[in-house]
Amino acid sequence: MTPNASSRITALLLALALTNCAQNPVTGQQNLVLMSESQEITTGRREDPKVRQEYGVYENAPLQQYVNEIGQRLARASHRPNLEYQFLVVDSPDVNAFALPGGYIYITRGILAYLNSEAELAAVLGHELGHVTARHSVQQISAATAASVGAAILQIFVPETRGIVGDNLINVLGGALLAGYGREHELEADRLGAEYLARTGYDPQAMVKVVGVLKNQELFDAEVAKAEGRQPRRYHGLFATHPDSDTRLQQVVGEAARFKQATTRTGQEEFLRRADRMIFGDSPSQGVVRNNHLYHAELGLAMRFPAGWRVQNRPQNVQAVSPNAEALIDLRIAGPAKGTPSEVLRKFVRLPFGSEVTSTTVGGLPAAVANTSIGGKPTRVVSVFLGKFAYLIGAQARSQPAFSQHQAEINASLMSFHAITAEERALARPLRMRVISADAGLTFAELARRSPLGKFAEGHLRVINGLYPRGEPVAGQPVKIVE
């Protein structure tokens, strides 16, 4: 959650109503696409500030410059060298990379943590570049829009609370740009990315390598998700087969061998030097979640979510979902702390006529609470003032029995909102990645014992070092740790 996030990725979808035929710059064939090139550029330029606001730009100038330089080099060697490209690291712990139409390419700092060389970074950028040069996003968004409409989520607040509307559209965009484009387009992006790698002096096999790294990340996340009773995360471009036995991937990447330069660059040292000291996981400006506690030093607040719920810390809100997805708790900023908490609550929650709003205190702070039903779903909303902001915390369940079942933990969570203490402020410190040199006999089990990554630290450290599931450090080898 960031103090000034109010993003709307709205107009993009409207722009897609227009249909025309355009030549595919890669194949030279006529494709049915939804935009002309100038529409693509206009759309990218217009939506880019919204992506920047939604995710935040990772403030690390040398790293940004490094990523952009590699991206620009790939772009010059691509099938659309004349587009104006932007390669940006966004401040998200998620493992992702995506592109807007028109040459706007984004990579999360979360995915960077899993990469171990410049060639692997170039492979991720090259894959996204392949989606742009083959114009996949403009072909695919409409299909994804249709697919995600059914993914109805619970709604507590009226749209002006800078949340739900934006969230839905992000979800729609997510369908096309974040989740992926389908097997054929992903293979085409891998093929093109491998070609751009080869043309810029990397080994195109880095594409297979990075797909393997991300596949292992997915397998590891599936293992953790199972233990935590949540849905695993997926990175687009990943399919059921592991890249080692994926013959079609091997084949499309193999085709790039003919563009391979005499000498190739891996750039491990250079990449690790840039990745050293990078923030790992939540950043302090967005608030840090540890063991389902939210500590937000910048906003000066702390709150506890029910144990076992999946907590997602997003720019617009923090949302916790129960293991069976029957109930959620949503914390967000309503606006400045003006008037009374009751007034704020009535303004932002579409309460049925005659609903009662009770003034109270939460964590010693002025607050108001309402128990109601919104869209036929039992809902409890608290409005609370802290510092210069009014906050809304809503809890909703899909049914009355579900609400009753979770009522005790919901109430405890809503009432746990309070001004951050000095001890909690210390917990809000972000984790950072460090690169060390392995001593002889160093094991991941030993590193895990002194790691803040929790009970899955051993596997997690292996994944970020490209040594999942059973590898160990070799003496003298650079090893990424988190501290």
Q: Which is nearer to Zn ion, 188 or 282 (CB)?
A: 188
Q: Which is nearer to Zn ion, 238 or 325 (CB)?
A: 238
Q: Which residue is nearest to Zn ion (CB)?
A: 237
Q: How far is the CB of 180 from Zn ion (least distance, A)?
A: 5
Contacts of residue 446, Cβ cutoff 8 Å, sequence gap at least 6 = none
Residue of 50, 236, 296, 377 that binds Zn ion (CB under 5 A): 236
Applying CB under 5 A, the span of 146-154, 189-197, 262-270, 333-341 interacting with Zn ion comes to 189-197
Distances in Å between the alpha carbon of 364 and those of 99, 293, 301, 419? 45, 19, 13, 9
Applying CB under 5 A, the span of 23-31, 185-193, 243-251, 284-292 interacting with Zn ion comes to 185-193
Q: How far is the CB of 127 from Zn ion (least distance, A)?
A: 6
Q: Which is nearer to Zn ion, 204 or 237 (CB)?
A: 237
Beta strands in 34-156 (DSSP E): 86-90, 97-100, 104-108
Q: How far is the CB of 98 from Zn ion (least distance, A)?
A: 8
Applying CB under 5 A, the span of 112-120, 186-194, 207-215, 318-326 interacting with Zn ion comes to 186-194
DSSP state of 286: G
Applying CB under 5 A, the span of 235-243, 278-286, 322-330, 352-360 interacting with Zn ion comes to 235-243
Applying CB under 5 A, the span of 12-20, 30-38, 236-244, 389-397 interacting with Zn ion comes to 236-244
Hey, what amino acid is at 328?
L
Please provide the distance, in angstroms rounded to a whole number, between the alpha carbons at the two ends of the chain: 23
261-263-268-273 Cα dihedral, nearest 10 degrees = -90
Could you say which residues in the range 255-294 bind Zn ion, by CB under 5 A? none
Q: How far is the CB of 176 from Zn ion (least distance, A)?
A: 11
Q: How far is the CB of 111 from Zn ion (least distance, A)?
A: 12
Residue 6, Cβ density class (10 Å: 0-12 exposed, 13-18 middle, ≥19 buried) = middle
Q: Which is nearer to Zn ion, 180 or 378 (CB)?
A: 180
Applying CB under 5 A, the span of 179-187, 212-220, 374-382, 410-418 interacting with Zn ion comes to 179-187
Hey, what amino acid is at 275?
A
Q: How far is the CB of 210 from Zn ion (least distance, A)?
A: 12
Q: How far is the CB of 189 from Zn ion (least distance, A)?
A: 5
How many chain residues interact with Zn ion (CB under 5 A)? 4
237 binds Zn ion (CB under 5 A): yes
Angle at 205 between CA 201 and CA 206, to 5 degrees: 75
Could you say which residues in the range 11-50 bind Zn ion, by CB under 5 A? none
Distances in Å between the alpha carbon of 143 and those of 21, 34, 182, 227? 17, 11, 11, 33
Distances in Å between the alpha carbon of 351 and those of 156, 167, 319, 348, 381? 10, 21, 21, 9, 10
Q: Which is nearer to Zn ion, 188 or 409 (CB)?
A: 188
136 binds Zn ion (CB under 5 A): no
460 binds Zn ion (CB under 5 A): no
Q: How far is the CB of 434 from Zn ion (least distance, A)?
A: 30
Q: How far is the CB of 317 from Zn ion (least distance, A)?
A: 27
Beta strands in 387-452 (DSSP E): 389-397, 418-419, 431-437
Q: Which is nearer to Zn ion, 224 or 238 (CB)?
A: 238
Q: How far is the CB of 184 from Zn ion (least distance, A)?
A: 11
With beta carbons less than 8 A apart as the criterion, state whether 188 and 130 touch: yes
Q: Which is nearer to Zn ion, 51 or 333 (CB)?
A: 51
Q: Which is nearer to Zn ion, 199 or 236 (CB)?
A: 236
With beta carbons less than 8 A apart as the criterion, state whether 80 and 22 touch: no
Length of the chain as a residue count:
483
Q: Which is nearer to Zn ion, 236 or 406 (CB)?
A: 236
Give the distance from CA 226 to its chain's centroid: 20
With beta carbons less than 8 A apart as the criterion, state whether 103 and 132 touch: yes
Residue 426, Cβ density class (10 Å: 0-12 exposed, 13-18 middle, ≥19 buried) = exposed
Applying CB under 5 A, the span of 228-236, 359-367, 387-395, 408-416 interacting with Zn ion comes to 228-236
CA distance 86 to 105: 6
Q: How far is the CB of 249 from Zn ion (least distance, A)?
A: 12
Q: How far is the CB of 136 from Zn ion (least distance, A)?
A: 8
Contacts of residue 14, Cβ cutoff 8 Å, sequence gap at least 6 = none
Applying CB under 5 A, the span of 152-160, 181-189, 209-217, 307-315 interacting with Zn ion comes to 181-189
In degrees rounded to 5, what are phi and psi of residue 126?
A: -65, -40
Which residues lie near Zn ion (CB under 5 A)?
186, 189, 236-237
